[in-house]
Amino acid sequence: MKPLIVANWKINPSTLAEAKRLFNSVAKGIKNIGRTEVVICPPFLYLPTIQQSNISTIKLGAQDCFWEEKGAFTGEISPAMLKDLGVDYVIIGHSERRKYLKETDEKVNKKLRAVLKTGLKAILCVGSIQRGEKGGREMSRQLEKSLVKVKKSDLKNIVFTYEPIWAISTTRGSAVATPENTKDGAIFIKKTLFKLFNKPPKIKIIYGGSVDSSNIRGFIEGAEMDGVLIGAASLKAEDFIAAVKNIDKLRKT
Ligand code: PGA
C-alpha cells in the first residue's frame, strides 16, 4: 500500500494567484516521487483551475460536500459536481466542521454515504477533544454513527483519519501527539471496526495533527500509519515537499 499524504489547505491561501503559485511549486518539487500518493485539498473555488494543471503525481481532494445530488440547497456542493471536476477524494467530518458548523455524526454519515455512492473516496476524520477513556467513547460514537448503513465492501474506499483535536496546530497550545499516542488511536479505530463489521478488510488509517517535514517519519514509521493529513505545514511549499520526499525516499530503501 502506497503511503498517502493529504494536504488540507483549509481556507487558504487568500487569492487564486497565490494558490496557483503554491500548487505549482509543490508540483515541481515532487515531480519525481513514485511511491507516495499525494492528495491536495484546496478550497472549492480553486479546484477547477488547479485541476487544469493535470499533474500525474497529485490527486485532488475537496474539504467537504453536501449529501444531496442536486436541488434547492443554497450554497452547497454535491459529490457529483466534485466528481465531474476530476476530484478523487473528499474530506468528511473534519473536527473544524464539527466544531464551527455544528456538523453532527448524522450529517457526517449522510455525507459519507453520498460520497461513496458517487464513487469518490472519503477521508473520514475521527478524533476526540479529550484523552483517555472519555476520548475513546467519543471516538467509538463517531465511528459507529458515521458508519450506519455503510457496507463492508465500501470500507476500502474510506481513509480513516485519526485526528486528536488537542494536537491540531491551531488548537493545540503546547500539546503535541507522539507516535505512541497515534499508534494507540489507530489500534482503537481498528478494534472498533472489528466490533462493527464482521471481519473487515484491511483499512487505511492516517494521522492528522501538527505534522511537518521534521516529524513525519516518526508518525509513519513509529506509529505504523498508512499516511498523514497535513494542515498548516502544507501551505509552506518547501516544508510540504520535504515531508513528501522524506516518505518517498523511505519507501525506496
Ligand atoms: P494541522 O492540521 O496540520 O495544521 O495540525 C491537521 C488537521 O487539520 O487535521
Using pLDDT thresholds of 50, 70 and 90, give the confidence band for residue 178: confident
Q: What is the mean pLDDT of the chain?
A: 93
Q: Tell me the CA–centroid distance for residue 185 and ligand 1, in Å.
A: 16
Q: Which atom of ligand 1 is nearest to the CA of 208?
A: 9
> Which one of 94, 96, 133, 224 is the catalytic residue?
94
- pLDDT at site 180: 82
94 is catalytic: yes
User: For a pocket test of ligand 1, which of 99, 205, 210 has the largest count of ligand atoms closer than 8 A to its C-beta?
Assistant: 210
pLDDT higher at 224 or 174: 224
Task: Kindly tell me if the per-residue pLDDT of 253 is higher than 80.
Answer: no
DSSP letters, the chain, are ---EEEEE--S--SSHHHHHHHHHHHHHHTTT--S-EEEEE--GGGHHHHHHT--TTEEEEES---SSSSSS-TT---HHHHHHTT--EEEES-HHHHHHS---HHHHHHHHHHHHHTT-EEEEEE--SS-HHHHHHHHHHHHHHHTTT--GGGGGGEEEEE--GGGSTTT-TT----HHHHHHHHHHHHHHHHHHSSSPPP-EEEEESS--TTTHHIIIIIS--SEEEESGGGGSHHHHHHHHHHHHHHHH-
Query: d(Cα 158, Cα 111) in Å, to the nearest integer?
Result: 12
- The predicted model scores a pTM of 0.95
Task: Establish whether 69 is a catalytic residue.
Answer: no
Ligand 1 lined by 127 (C-beta under 6 Å): no
Alpha-carbon torsion, ordered 167, 169, 170, 174, to 10 deg = 60
Q: What is the pLDDT of residues 4-48, one digit of tens each?
A: 999 999 999 999 999 999 999 999 999 999 999 999 999 999 999
Residues 122-172 have pLDDT tens digits of 999 998 777 777 778 889 999 999 999 999 999 999 999 999 887 887 665
